[in-house]
Amino acid sequence: MAAISPWFSSPQSVSSRYIKSFTNSRRCSSIPVAISALDSSSEEQHRISSRDHVGIKRREAMLQIASSVFFLPLAVSPAFAETNASETFRVYTDEANKFEISIPQDWQVGQAEPNGFKSITAFYPQETSTSNVSIAITGLGPDFTRMESFGKVEAFAETLVSGLDRSWQKPAGVTAKLIDSRSSKGFYYIEYTLQNPGEARKHLYAAIGMATNGWYNRLYTVTGQFTDEESAEQSSKIQKTVKSFRFI
């Protein structure tokens, strides 16, 4: 994925040095085939009963959750309100999508054209860095009313991460390892790592929750990522940002 995706847009460009750094960091995997971990055979997909239909919708949602980690805006957007939360963090509020999140004071904000998602917003440092936090929103069918519709958090996390792993290929691809998973207050929290051969290991911390806008359910995937090379302070900022996400 060396080419920069053309569907990011905004009034003000970030530095090309940062863009190069981020596009290189995206190569942990092509858009993950997490869907394959849930598929048994292509023939079964053609025998669509109501149960099969729910399974396919679940696989589609899982694929979007997994792929959301690879999106980050290449430009800054001043679209929504920001208010002070503390000396080091500020609150970013999205009234349209009904959420708020605390981000580091000096981080930039960007948005992307959805391209299959309802909305993608991301936050990242001004300096060159592989650290960032992104929020991807996608629509869900009526079969999904709460996170447990995807199964228990342990099975959900195992399926998601195992679907990203390509260490068994020859030559070996990305290695994905699940670190931790838990459920709290309607959110699934998942911590895992991704590493391409010969590259720095990436740590990912995700919070996944569900809400309705009054017409249909939507899945919110908040993903923070940083590498082994990043400072402990940066990793702490990432986790604090992800944990601060809440619906309004």
- Give me 192's structure tokens: 């895992």
DSSP the chain: --SPPTTB--SEEPPHHHHHHHHHHGGG-SS--GGGGT---HHHHHS--HHHHHHHHHHHHHHHHHHGGG---SEE---SEEEE-SSSEEEEEETTTTEEEEEETT-EEEEE--TTSSEEEEEE-SSS-S-EEEEEEEE--TT--SGGGG--HHHHHHHHHHHH--TTSSS---EEEEEEEEEETTEEEEEEEEE-TTSPPEEEEEEEEEEE-SSSEEEEEEEEEEETTS-HHHHHHHHHHHHH-EE-
Which pLDDT score is estimated for 17? 32
Note down pLDDT in tens along the chain; length 248 residues.
333 232 333 333 333 333 333 333 333 432 233 333 333 333 344 443 444 444 555 666 666 666 555 544 443 344 444 544 455 999 999 998 999 999 999 999 998 766 666 788 999 998 878 899 999 998 888 888 899 999 999 999 999 999 999 999 999 999 999 999 999 999 999 999 999 999 999 999 999 999 987 778 899 999 999 998 887 888 889 999 999 999 99
